[in-house]
Chain A
Amino acid sequence: MGSLEKQTDPTSPMHWRGDMQADYFYPSGIAGDKFFRHLMQKDSFLADTCPKCNKIYCPPRLYCEDCFEEIPDNSWKEVPSVGTVRLYTVAKLNAHGEKMKSPKIIALIDIDGTNGAMLGTIDSNDFEKDFTGIKVKAILRPKEKREGTIKDILHYKEI
């Protein structure tokens, strides 16, 4: 008998399990490198300004996204790591779709004095509150533990 035979052992069909190695490597780039190296030393952000349309980028860019103008080095400036919450969501599931012990508030924060915005989490246990429009400040890792990635920003806290 072949494929028409009666299957009596439910464990006989096997499974083949495997791991796929799919490493992810993201270099910060020239502008990003400058931004993160600054963030490793200071508690403020860097921003730069397009010489043509005066759009202020934070995180900084080498080229303007709107008018493709090259942004010169002399337009770089330091801005405080303070912003206003543009929008937010309360996440209850993690990246694997599992329920988290405590929800996470993920927000898009307009950095004050710039036209840029950063994604981050808000440190709060009040999940009913409307956070839109509130002022927040970035809380960073202790200086000796900073690695030069976005994770150096632990979260944002209301001020």
Chain B
Amino acid sequence: MAEKKKDWPPYAPGTYVRESDIREKKITYTWWEPEVQYSWSLGPAMSKFLQGLKNGKIIGIHCKRCKRVIVPPRMFCEYCFGPTEEWVEVADTGIIETFSISYLDPDARRIEDPILVGVVDFDGTPPHHGFMHYFGEMTKDEIKIGMRVKAVWKPEDERVGSITDILYFRPLKGGET
């Protein structure tokens, strides 16, 4: 039977490096910031989508065969592999498909105020479609799946054709559709 090993080799205990050791130059080290740049060619569909965001519109594309709207748009339908044919403007309202309450910021630093992120399922598109974004004007206790939300846009002159041209999605107030 499994017997407890008594003679494990003694492990090197290891020495922790603290941030203050680096700041106060208590240890010698090499620091290097490599230049890592990338360029993502967006292709016709994603270009149209981001150009649309710049103009304050969410652009989708319609597949005639599957009778569905795809957002963000794609050049071909992932279901039937046919070319997608008709650009459509999608409403900037929808429901929260799924969400996450994050206590880490994009640099993986711990934060007190959680960031709310998730997928928005847009009105007029088939279920379980959409893209990820931030949620705002709601607390972590208020957010729930199925909540109706609307995009909050950047001012027109600040939009550059980026997904961040939408600041976040806010809950629809009573009476709004």
Contacts and interface: CB of A to CB of B under 8 A. Distances in A.
Interface of A: 1-4, 7, 12-28, 30, 32-33, 36-37, 62-63, 68, 147-150
Contact of B31 (A15, A21, A24): A24
Contacts of B44: 3, 7, 12-13
Contacts of B43: 13
A108 to B, nearest CB: 19
Closest 8 CB pairs of A and B: A148-B28, A20-B36, A2-B85, A24-B32, A36-B28, A26-B30, A14-B47, A16-B40
B167 interface: no
A2 B38 contact: no
Interface in B33-61: 33-47, 50-51, 61
B78 interface: no
B80 interface: no
Nearest to B76: A3
14 contacts: A1-B86, A2-B61, A3-B45, A7-B44, A13-B44, A16-B39, A16-B40, A19-B35, A22-B36, A25-B22, A25-B30, A26-B30, A148-B29, A149-B30
Contacts of B42: 13-16
Nearest to A12: B47
Contacts of B101: none
Nearest to B50: A14
B27 A23 contact: no
B47 to A, nearest CB: 4
A32 B28 contact: yes
A25 B17 CA distance: 11
Nearest to B77: A3
A63 B29 contact: no
A14 B51 contact: yes
